[in-house]
Amino acid sequence: MAKDPNNRNITRIENTGGEGKRPVRGFEVRIYRRGQRFNQFFSDSAHGGKKGALEQARTVRDKMEKKLKPYTRRELAEKISARNTSGYRGVRLRKTIVTKDDKKYVYEHVEASWSPEPGKVVKKSFSVAKLGLDKAWELAVECRKKAVSKIKG
């Protein structure tokens, strides 16, 4: 089932409760932007039912989205995630294995990738065999930096 775009950052919570506990039903707004976390729960019982809780959640969500500004496309392209092991976003060492006539050929290349616009990804590879690892890496980093500098926003 596709998610309703009107309910972005809103989650339906229905907990039957346990022994001696009341059930919990309502909507939770969760937003995480620029290191700031916001979450608030809107119970069905406190807001006149499911419809009222959802309306209140949407109202508060809209207010908080205006207050907590998202990253721009360029900021996201330059932001290093905690999972990054190379120190450069969008640059990685790749191995491609090609089998031809029962022989396996392994090609190493450094790949730079970026997204110039929503829904589009561009990749450029630099051969380790031709350039050496250090030079291929350097060229990939420079290629990506140049491309990211052209991203609007």
Q: Which runs of E-coded beta strand occur in 16-148?
A: 24-33, 36-43, 91-100, 103-117, 120-127
pLDDT of 2: 59
Q: Token match 């907990």: residue?
A: 15
pTM of this prediction?
A: 0.61
State the Cα–Cα distance between residues 7 and 48, nearest whole angstrom. 19
DSSP H or E stretch at residue 144: helix 133-149
pLDDT of 4: 77
73-108 pLDDT, tens digit per residue, is 888 888 888 888 888 899 999 999 999 999 999 999
Residue 1 has pLDDT above 60, yes or no: no
18: Cβ–Cβ under 8 A, 6 or more apart, which residues? none
Sheet containing 91-100: give its strands across.
91-100, 103-117, 120-127
41-61 pLDDT, tens digit per residue, is 999 999 999 999 999 999 999
Tokens for 72?
A: 């721009």
Question: Which range is least confidently modeled, 16-25, 96-105, 106-115?
Answer: 16-25
pLDDT of 16: 83
Q: How confident is the model at residue 118 (pLDDT cuts 50, 70, 90)?
A: confident
Higher pLDDT, residue 63 or 5: 63
Q: How confident is the model at residue 34 (pLDDT cuts 50, 70, 90)?
A: confident
